[in-house]
Structure 1
Amino acid sequence: MKAALLYRPGGPGNFVLEDKPIPTPGAEQVLVKVKAFGLNRSELMTRKGLSPNVRFPRVLGIECVGEVEHDPAGKFKLGQKVAAFMGGMGRDFDGSYAEYVVLPQTLLYPFESHLSWEQLGAIPEMFQTVYGSLHLALKVKQGESLLIRGGTSSIGMLATQLAKKSSLTVLATTRKPVKAELLLHNGADHVLIDDGNLAEKVKAIYPEGVDKVLELVGTYTLKDSLRCTAPGGTVCMTGMLSEQWSLADFAPMEYIPATVHLTIYDSGQIRVEEQNFQQFIRDVEAGTIQLSISKSFTLSEIAAAHQFMESNSAGGKIVVLTGD
């Protein structure tokens, strides 16, 4: 099988496409024939050597969709469509940047769909992250206001759609004025140009601040996002587009405004139930949710795919198909 290995961290050119033996699943593992996978910023950070405890060589990839090739336990049927994400994929053990991958049974979500592999490849982690952030972490309610910081990212674009589906008022941000129309077309009620200081712009619309904030930029803008939030409101830090894991000299009493809540969402810790995943696929099939797919690549083009992701010009999910 073909697999993209990273022997040492660095630039996109460090990926090496190699022929490897198809792995054999052990107890409570399943061999999956990978059909497609989405790219994620966390993989870019791992590639750069910014992910703690990741050992090289490593096959990256924290998500995929494909078909069951072999399940020794017989829980999954041959050819059954499955999705997988997180749970150590591409970090603790080899991930989806390959034609086949061995995965723990517990990571697999079986599903049915007539969507293309390109469309399906965009869904697993993007859906889990958005749904989990909005409904498990932020616990959004009808009529609330939501600031999405990092609105043009694939997560931000989908979050806007799901938030509007739940009858929220959405304020979405972009650093580039030329992308304002994209956000409005996607359903945002207000577009704010993000220069790192949004609190005054937000409070010009909501004087007390917004009810909820989905923070996708990360630690770089987190303090300002907390200042955008109304008393009793909640900020969920989900993304790290700024590629910075931690805060220096974090003093909670000074950093977090009184009665404002700060939480995170990590699909590796808490997962959305399978039936919600299948329903989301049905919504995409019915056209009530529009997937934002920026560009597709093949596995042999993995270096170019990472270059494109690093250029920050995607404006949607980047998908890699394993077939040339």
Structure 2
Amino acid sequence: MSQSTAAGDAVQAMMRAVVVTRPGGLGALEIKEVPVPVRERGWVRIRVKAFGVNESEVTTRKGESDPEVTYPRVPGIEGVGVVDEADEDSGLRPGQQVATMMGGMGRTYDGAYAQYVSVPAAQVIPFETGLPWDVVGALPEMFQTAYGSLTTGLDLRAGQTLLIRGGTSTVGLSAATLAKDLGATVLSTTRSPDRTGELRDAGVDHPLTDNGTVADQVRELMPDGVDAALELVGCSVLADTLRTVRRHGTVCFTGALAGQWSINDFTPFMIPVGVRLTSYAGEAADLPADVFARQLEAVAEGRLRVPVAKVHHGLEQVQDAQDDVESGTAPGKHVVVLDD
């Protein structure tokens, strides 16, 4: 995207973006004027309308993310907006509503904390909806992670029982609503007894208070164990979660809210006999456009609840949004809307 001077010299168009020049505190999130990304063939440039704010972006800002992250970097692992420019044979047209997420976005290349973002076409999901941008902006990463975990990770079926460990996280709340829509019975955990109401609001059948172990509580409700368990807390409780699952059931390791990603002195014999352990860390392609369309329709009809904690307006409020995410005082998704 460029414009020309009267003399014919090309001038790079500029945009506003949040840039992390070097890791640090909230002050490391600086609003800068930077060039609009030049789109490569096979990529799509999107005019960003809204984006979710996630724990992974907090860790990127603090320098605690994957070693592949380099600085300076525009964070943002997800975003929604409209196509600004795409290959003619991509099937995408300017002005079309799209979502994008993951795939190195905001880590190995610049992400959605900006007025424009350019991403590979393979991780662009087209959609049509009348839902406002603040609602749609909460969905891509949250729904993709929850949906991929329940399907690819757990192969969950109607009539089965599911335990969600870390249920008041945005992915946990989203997974509960998706699992209930699928027809599963859902057990879900929170460390705070006063937050069980949030779980019930998301459709959870059996809220559980997690004091570090939940296996006994689960077995009281389901003596043979649950069919499936979604692990979002991490390795610190994985052994206990494995004990909640019936023989030939499955545990899917998706997140590590407690910050522990590995187990010291791990032995395969910690996995109960006949229990399966999988993991999930998928990409946009794991959320097909028709599935996302059905989810949007379910949200519009009120069948799926979107756990939005707060809507922030403008890049100036990104610091506040990350502060809220890091403090954990407001449960649910934080969304930044870029007003025209």
| CA offset digits 1:241-291 (Å, max 9, x no partner) | 1123322222222x2111111111112286122211111111111221121
Residue 203 of structure 1 is aligned with which of 219, 223, 228? 219
Q: Which amino acid aligns with 2:299?
A: V
Matched residue SS, 1:88: coil
Matched residue SS, 1:248: coil
Q: Which amino acid aligns with 1:278?
A: A
Q: d(CA) in 1 for partners of 2:178 and 2:338? A: 29
Q: d(CA) in 2 for partners of 1:62 and 1:303? A: 16
Tell me whether 1:30 sits opposite 2:44 in the alignment.
Answer: yes
Q: Aligned residue for 2:268?
A: 252
Q: d(CA) in 2 for partners of 1:89 and 1:189? A: 36
Matched residue SS, 1:323: coil
Q: Aligned residue for 2:169?
A: 153
Matched residue SS, 2:272: coil
Deviation of residue 50 (structure 1)? Answer: 2.1
Q: Aligned residue for 1:64?
A: 79
Q: d(CA) in 2 for partners of 1:292 and 1:165? A: 15
Q: TM-score, normalised by structure 2?
A: 0.91
Q: Which stretch shifts more, 77-86 or 156-165?
A: 156-165
Q: d(CA) in 2 for partners of 1:91 and 1:239? A: 18
- Number of aligned residues: 323
Q: Which stretch shifts more, 213-222 or 261-270?
A: 261-270
Deviation of residue 186 (structure 1)? Answer: 2.0
Matched residue SS, 2:155: coil
Q: For 1:74-223, what aligned pairs fall within 5 Å after superposition?
A: 75=90, 76-223=92-239
Q: Aligned residue for 1:11?
A: 25
Tell me whether 1:296 sits opposite 2:311 in the alignment.
Answer: yes
Q: Which amino acid aligns with 1:273?
A: P
Q: d(CA) in 1 for partners of 2:143 and 2:156? A: 16
Structure number with bigger Rg: 2
Q: d(CA) in 2 for partners of 1:240 and 1:206? A: 25
CA RMSD of aligned residues (A): 1.5
Q: TM-score, normalised by structure 1?
A: 0.95
| CA offset digits 1:14-59 (Å, max 9, x no partner) | 1111011212101111211101011222222222222222111111
| CA offset digits 1:37-83 (Å, max 9, x no partner) | 11222222222222222111111111100011112445321111110
Matched residue SS, 1:234: strand
Q: Which amino acid aligns with 2:47?
A: K
Tell me whether 1:265 sits opposite 2:277 in the alignment.
Answer: no
Contact persistence 1:45–1:243 (CA under 8 A): no
Q: d(CA) in 1 for partners of 2:191 and 2:254? A: 18
Residue 40 of structure 1 is aligned with which of 41, 45, 54? 54
Alignment gaps of 5+ in structure 2: 1-14
Q: Which stretch shifts more, 70-79 or 230-239?
A: 70-79
Q: Which stretch shifts more, 100-109 or 8-17?
A: 8-17
Instruction: Give the ranges of 4+ consecutive aligned residues of structure 1 lying more than 3 Å apart after TM superposition.
Output: none
| CA offset digits 1:98-129 (Å, max 9, x no partner) | 11111111111111010100001011111111
Contact persistence 1:25–1:72 (CA under 8 A): no
Deviation of residue 208 (structure 1)? Answer: 2.4
Contact persistence 2:148–2:280 (CA under 8 A): yes
Contact persistence 2:125–2:284 (CA under 8 A): no
Q: For 1:275-314, what aligned pairs fall within 5 Å after superposition?
A: 275-297=290-312, 298-314=314-330
Tell me whether 1:236 sits opposite 2:252 in the alignment.
Answer: yes
